Amino acid sequence: MTKSKRRVFDASLKLQVVEMIRTQGLSVGEVCRDMRLGETAVRRWLAQVDAEQIGQPGIGKPLTAEHQRIRQLEAENKQLRGDVEILKKASAFFARELR
């Protein structure tokens, strides 16, 4: 028995599917049958977009460009805070060495 490879969808496709459901009045089932998608995944995408629209982080990778940028900036901020801590410790170490 071979294991099927997991499909990966980019954020733009996910947003298009959500847009089809919301604006065209199509049901989740119809869209899933037409595009050969799993209903669970599509419902998760709908929940993700809803969460992002009210400002919550949602689950999984962000779908909208704005939330992707926020996630990127948060990661960069975390990295910079860590760098600052290392520099503080290094300067304290060298200050003790000079005494």
19-64 pLDDT tens trace: 889 899 888 999 999 999 999 999 999 988 888 888 776 677 777 7
Q: Measured between alpha carbons, how far is 70 from 84 in angstroms, rounded to an integer?
A: 21
Q: Which residues contact 49 (CB under 8 A, 6 or more apart)?
A: 15, 18, 58, 63, 64
- Is residue 84 over pLDDT 90? yes
Q: Measured between alpha carbons, how far is 77 from 60 in angstroms, rounded to an integer?
A: 20
- Portion of the chain with pLDDT greater than 90, in percent: 29
| Torsion angle (degrees, nearest 10) of CA 14, 20, 22, 26 | -120
- Portion of the chain with pLDDT greater than 70, in percent: 95
Tokens of 44: 């998760």
User: Which residue did the predictor score with more confidence, 4 or 49?
Assistant: 49
At 76 the pLDDT is 94
What pTM does this model have? Answer: 0.63
The mean pLDDT value of the chain amounts to 86
